[in-house]
Structure 1
Amino acid sequence: MLTVPQTAISSDVRQAIVRYLLDNVDNPCISIAEAVHVMREMFPLCELTEWQLGDLIARAAIDAAFAVEFDAGAS
């Protein structure tokens, strides 16, 4: 399984993912595609691929006990 190198992920991106989850705590399910879109708007120069960013979001959401909609390829 591919993993994201820890050094390639800024703490700002990690904090933004956590903030996004906190802002959506009342939603029963987190959309990976929507969350990736929001992160891209916040960090347009982020060097992570869509897959890497989606993976980070999914892992954080699962760790926080969110249901996850794996729709990363959908637009």
Structure 2
Amino acid sequence: MKIDWAALGSVFGVSLVVTVALVGLFTLGIVGLSKRERATEQGGSATLAVSGAYACFALCAAAVGYGIYLIVA
């Protein structure tokens, strides 16, 4: 049995980068929603933060959907 170490390292590297990016994107969405709560408490509006948060969550859902598509196809 021969292991292609270069391919294994490539898969590991891409998986690590995508995982960190997806977690960072989700974290930005959570931060955007927390800014909305803080702005509501102060009597303001944070429509840009909320729009950005929803965009982050939509990108996360799209990435997960694409991953499922790659597994199934």
Same fold (TM over 0.5): no
Structure holding more strand per residue: 1
Give the TM-score, by structure 2 length.
Answer: 0.31
Structure holding more helix per residue: 2
Greater RCO, CA 8 A, separation 6+: 1
Greater Rg over alpha carbons, structure: 2
